[in-house]
Amino acid sequence: MKKKLLIFLSCFLTFFSSINVNAKKTTETTTEILTDEEGNEIRNTESDVIYDTSTTEESGDITNYYDMPEINSPSAIVMDISSGTILYEKDINNEYYPGSLVKVMTAILAVDSGISLNEKLVYTEEMRNNLPSDASTISLLPGEPISLEDALYALLMSSANDCSLAISYQISGSDLEFAKAMNEKAKELGCTHTNFTNSTGIYDEAMKTSVSDFAKIGICAYKTGNLSKIMGCTSHTVPATDYEKEKALWQTDTMLFKTHSTYYSFCVGGKVSNSGGEDSALLTFAEKDDKLLVAVVMGSKVANLYKDTTTIFEYAFNNYHIIKPLEDFSFDERISSNVVSDIYYGNLDHDLPSFYVNSDYSLLTHNSISVNDLKYDIKFSANKTAKIVGEVDILYKNKVIDSSPIYSNTDLYFVGEEATEEVIPEEKKTLSGLSIIMLIILGISVVYIIVIIIILKVRKKKRTEKKKNKLASSDNDNSSDNSSDNYSEATNDIDEDDENSSFDDYNEADYFDD
C-alpha cells in the first residue's frame, strides 16, 4: 500500500514539474516597436557596449562619397526630416547671424508653452519702445489685442517684430528671459553653434547659429503644432479689432508663389531672413516622392539663397532613394548561438530570449547604394532602455550611415549580476495562473492521500477490536492461560490479514456497517 502511494505521489510531482518547465520556455513573440509621442522610434543612446561585431572604427556621412553640386552661398545643408540624415552639406558648422529666422524658435516656444491659440496677447507701449523705428511690424497699437494664432501667422509670414515681443512678454515676462528659454531649447535639440539674445532677430553681435543647427530647429518646427501649415501659407487675414481694421498678411518666402521667378514646385513652406546684404538666410521645406526634406542656406544675398536652395533640393531628390535595410535581417545568420548565454543571464529566473528589429525601418540613401551593398554591426548594451537591448549599425564602405534599435521580448540580466530584489523583476516573483492551479491540485491530492491513510488505520483498529471481542466471547470457559495463548494466536492472524490487504480490497461499506 505504501509503495503504491509513493509511486502515485512521485508521478504527480514529475508531471507538475514538467508543466512548469514547459510554461517557462513558452515565449510570446511580438514585434512591438517603441516610439515617442511624435511617433519617432526610440533608440538606446547609451554607449556602454558589452558586445560588438564591429571590425572598423570609422564612421561618417555618406555625402562624403559623392560629387555634390557647386553653389554660390558659403554654407548650406539638406537633411531628411524623418531621420535627420544629411544629404547635402557645405561648411555646415560655420557660424552666421540668423536674422529673422530667429522667429522660428520663438514660434516653437510659443506652441510649447501650452497657451491656447485663441488666447489674446496684448501689445504694450514698453514693447514698442524696445523696437527700432524701421523694424518690420503689422502696426499693432499699444493696448491692441491679438490671438496667439494670428500672432504666429504674422510672425512667420510677415516677420512681425511686434507680435514676437507680444509672445515673449506673455510667456516669460521679458524678452531677455524668453531668450534664455530659447537657448535651453536649442541645447535640447543638439545645437552647438547657436546663441539667441532676443526673440525678434534684431541685430546683436552675440547672436549666432549655423546651418547644421538651424536644420535641427527647422525639423522641430515642422513637427510642432500647426507651424508647418503656417509656414506653407501664402496669405492670411487678421480680424479687425476696436483699434484697427483687419490686416492682410502675405508670405515673404517667394518660393511658394507660382508667379514668382524663384518659385519651386516642391516647396511646402519656409522662412526667409532678408537683410538686403550678404548675411541673409533661408529655411525651406520641400516634399517629393514621399521624401520630406529641409534645407538651410546662409551667408549670401537673397537671390543666391533661392537659387542655391533649388539646386541642392534637386540634387537630393534626384540622387537619393528609400530602401528598407532591415527587411530581411536575421540574427541567426550574424551571431553565434552561445553569444546570449555568454553575455546575459546572471540568474536562472528568465525566459528564452527573443531579439528583433524594425523590419519596416526606412533609410533614405544615395541611388548608387542598394541593400546588398550594406553591412551590419550588432551591438548589445548594458544600458537597456525598456525593451531596447542594443542597436544595429548600418554600414556602407566601412562607414556607419545609420543605426536602428535591437528589441527583446525577454527581460535580460548580465552574467555576474546578483539575484537581488532589484535584479529580479516583480512579475517573475509571482506564480503564473498555471502554477497556482497545479499547486491546488497537488494540495488536494496530498489531503486525499492523508485521508485514505487515516481511514485504513481506523479500519485496522476496528477489525482488531472486532476479532478481539469475538475471541473473548468464544473462550469464556477456557482457563486464563489458554485464553492468553489463543488471543496471541488470533492477533497474529489479524496482522497477517492486514499485511495481505490492499487499497483495492478495501470496501468502504464494511467500515461504515461496523
> What's the rounded mean pLDDT across residues 253-257?
96
Question: Scanning the structure block, which residue is given the C-alpha cell 492472524?
Answer: 493
pLDDT at 505: 45
- pTM attached to this predicted model: 0.68
pLDDT at 461: 78
pLDDT at 400: 85
Question: Tell me: the pLDDT tens digits for 401-433?
Answer: 888 888 877 665 555 444 333 333 444 444 545
Q: How far is CA 284 from CA 100, 159, 232, 262, 313, in A?
A: 14, 15, 10, 12, 10
More confident residue, 379 or 42: 379
Q: Helix 148-157 to helix 102-112 angle, to the nearest 10 degrees?
A: 160
pLDDT at 398: 84
Check if the beta carbon of residue 89 is closer than 8 Å to that of residue 370. Answer: no
Sorting pLDDT into bands at 50, 70 and 90, what band is 511?
very low
Q: With pLDDT > 70 as the criterion, what percentage of the chain qualifies?
A: 68
- 484, amino acid identity: S
Between CA 107 and CA 153 the distance in angstroms is 10
CA angle 467, 468, 470 (to 5 degrees): 60
In the predicted structure, residue 96 carries a pLDDT above the cut 90: yes
Question: Tell me: the pLDDT tens digits for 154-170?
Answer: 999 999 999 999 999 99
pLDDT at 477: 53
Main-chain phi, psi angles of 147, to 5 degrees: -70, 155
> What's the rounded mean pLDDT across residues 260-277?
94
Between CA 509 and CA 504 the distance in angstroms is 13
- 191, amino acid identity: C
In the predicted structure, residue 303 carries a pLDDT above the cut 60: yes
Question: Tell me: the pLDDT tens digits for 384-405?
Answer: 655 787 888 888 888 888 888 8
Q: Spell out the long-range contacts of 483-492 with Cβ–Cβ below 8 A and sequence spacing 24 or more.
A: 491/464, 491/467
* DSSP conformational letter for 260: S
The most confident of the ranges 105-109, 355-359, 469-473 is: 105-109
In the predicted structure, residue 219 carries a pLDDT above the cut 80: yes
Out of 197-201, 249-253, 504-508, 510-514, least confident range: 510-514
pLDDT at 414: 53
Q: Burial letters for 71-88: b for 16+ Cβ neighbours within 10 Å, e otherwise?
A: bebbbbbbbbbbeebbbb
In the predicted structure, residue 456 carries a pLDDT above the cut 90: no
Mind giving me the DSSP string for 28-55?
Answer: -------B-TTSPBP------EEEE---
More confident residue, 453 or 235: 235
> What's the rounded mean pLDDT across residues 245-260?
95
pLDDT at 269: 97
- Residues in contact with 84: Cβ distance below 8 Å, sequence separation at least 6, in sequence order: 216, 219
pLDDT at 504: 44
More confident residue, 335 or 476: 335
pLDDT at 410: 66
Check if the beta carbon of residue 109 is closer than 8 Å to that of residue 334. Answer: no
Helix (H) / strand (E) element for 405: namely: strand 399-408
Q: How far is CA 200 from CA 61, 75, 150, 207, in A?
A: 34, 23, 16, 11
More confident residue, 128 or 480: 128
